[in-house]
Amino acid sequence: MIEARDDNEYGPSIPFPMDISVGKIDRSKAFETQMSEFALQDDLPVEPDYSELYSGLTATFLSGKTRDLSWRRKQLEAVERMMHECEADFFAALKSDLGKSAMESFTTETSQVSSDAAYSRKKLNRWTRKKRVPTPIVGQPGRSWIEPEPLGIVLVIGAWNYPVQLTLAGMSAAIAAGNCVVIKPSELAPATSRLLKKVVPEFLDADCVKVVEGDIPETSALLKLPFDHILYTGGGHVARIVMAAAAKNLTPVTLELGGKSPCVVLPDANLEATARRIVWGKYTNSGQTCIAPDYILTDADTEALLLPLLQQNIDDMFGDDPQQSDSYGRMINDRHFERVSALIASGHTVIGGQIDSADKYIAPTVLTDVSDDSPVMQEEIFGPVLPIVRAENLEDAIGIIRRRDKPLSAYLFTNDNRAERKFLDQVSCGNACVNDVMMFMAVHELPFGGVGPSGMGAYSGRRGFETFSHMKSVMKRGWWPDLAVRYAPYTEKKFKFLRKIR
């Protein structure tokens, strides 16, 4: 088999079975370079056996323990306590793995997890209520309703770029729905993975929630089990492998992927606020964010006005030397550093461009004179390099976006309501934001998910509860009257009567 270690995406390493056809995986030269490094391996480690773990979770689920609403609330409260009581430990782990500052770790990781858990806990009574639906005359006397029930055992495969939030948020949603959960943290964020392995059993019910650390053999072994749902966050080509494995057990999947999220800046936008918000969104986590603005589309005059504002805001946020800033992170590993560094040559560097391989540091970088066929435009950048691509007007920008895969997110900066409406009508994406970036993540009731190559399914707030629930349809009939019209023998008289009431 081939080892599919795709570090430019943010999922786990998974073995790539030779008999799985995944079609066109990626168009980038960087990806082709990685593929050339994959080697056929006859001596892969023996996969562990998780059958006992799975059997134990099955027995626990069938006991009904996780269905109890008080149990669910206690677990969600435990998630909140874990984020508070272990906050310093999480901050240290994230600093070790990604160079994140304490404030960035709080705002994008721990507080996000705790607020999601708290929101679900407070809404649990409402979400779990039966929902009455009308019963037609042919079903009378009778009542009909929909009641949510837990699926069973959920596998959550976390990601390395936000290794706390993108692992525990999915876990919390699955718990809220009443499931047992197995979480697989990313091995590419080892400090965070070790911490999750340690603290999750200390705070959550160890009979119902399991943490499995590991690399290729562990992930492969997990994917062979007949889970009731799999949530995977990562890149498109590994998602195909997850789907292929899930298909063998008819396991439904939710895929949170990525893509090149465009950022259109029209001339009428408030450019001062636009630049500030783009710089924050692009360079948070050193650009390693699936919903970060991937590239800017704007006209030449607006570009000329925007560039000094981008520089000013980079200086304001990270200082003259961002490498010395506690607010600026690092690349996750050497391979990711090398891949992103190579993309800088795709255009004219007007801001940044400095790199330090020993520190896995890439400065906040802006490129101009970028062509549509340049390497930096062939894949999700997933790093602190921001290309600016010329688009003469909104129609031109929309055309460029629509020629590409549907992105996970799309951003528009404008004061023109008609332009806004046109953009939202014509650009298909998982999530959209007007006059800001990434802030839809703060709204619990907005489903988060992609479309097409950027993902499948969604979660967050109520949508997360519904994703990990089965909405069971129920009808209850009365005993009387029991009209003979529906029973054989079928006569012309009965037929005429049925036509009338239909």
Q: Which residues are catalytic?
A: 256, 290
Distances (CA, A) of 245 to 13, 75, 159, 253: 14, 30, 18, 10
What would the two tokens of residue 190 be? Answer: 């080892």
Q: Which residue has the tokens 């005359």?
A: 137
Distances (CA, A) of 358 to 96, 121, 331: 15, 44, 11
Among residues 270, 314, 276, the alpha carbon closest in space to that of 415 is found at 270
Strand order in the sheet with 253-256: 209-211, 180-184, 153-157, 229-233, 253-256, 455-456
Q: Which residue has the tokens 């099955």?
A: 58
Residue 311 to residue 69: CA distance in whole angstroms: 51
Torsion angle of C-alpha atoms 236, 238, 244, 248, degrees rounded to 10: -130
Residues 306-335, buried b or exposed e (16+ Cβ, 10 A)?
bbebbbebbeebbeeebeeeebbbbbbeeb
Among residues 318, 390, 327, 380, the alpha carbon closest in space to that of 354 is found at 318
Using alpha carbons only, what angle is made at residue 345 by residues 343 and 346, rounded to the nearest 5 degrees? 70
Determine contact, residues 271/237, Cβ cutoff 8 Å: no
Determine contact, residues 31/25, Cβ cutoff 8 Å: yes
Residue 218 to residue 188: CA distance in whole angstroms: 14
Mapped to the 3 state alphabet, what secondary structure does 62-102 carry? HCCHHHCHHHHHHHHHHHHHHHHHCHHHHHHHHHHHHCCCH
In sequence order, the β-bridge partners of residue 476 are 143
Among residues 273, 295, 261, the alpha carbon closest in space to that of 367 is found at 295
Judge residue 488's burial from the number of C-beta atoms within 10 Å of its C-beta, 0-12 exposed, 13-18 middle, 19 or more buried. exposed
Among residues 396, 326, 319, 327, the alpha carbon closest in space to that of 352 is found at 319
Determine contact, residues 377/32, Cβ cutoff 8 Å: no
Among residues 388, 324, 387, the alpha carbon closest in space to that of 361 is found at 324
Residue 312 to residue 258: CA distance in whole angstroms: 29
- Based on its alpha-carbon atoms, the radius of gyration of the chain, rounded to whole angstroms, reads 25
Residue 413 to residue 394: CA distance in whole angstroms: 11
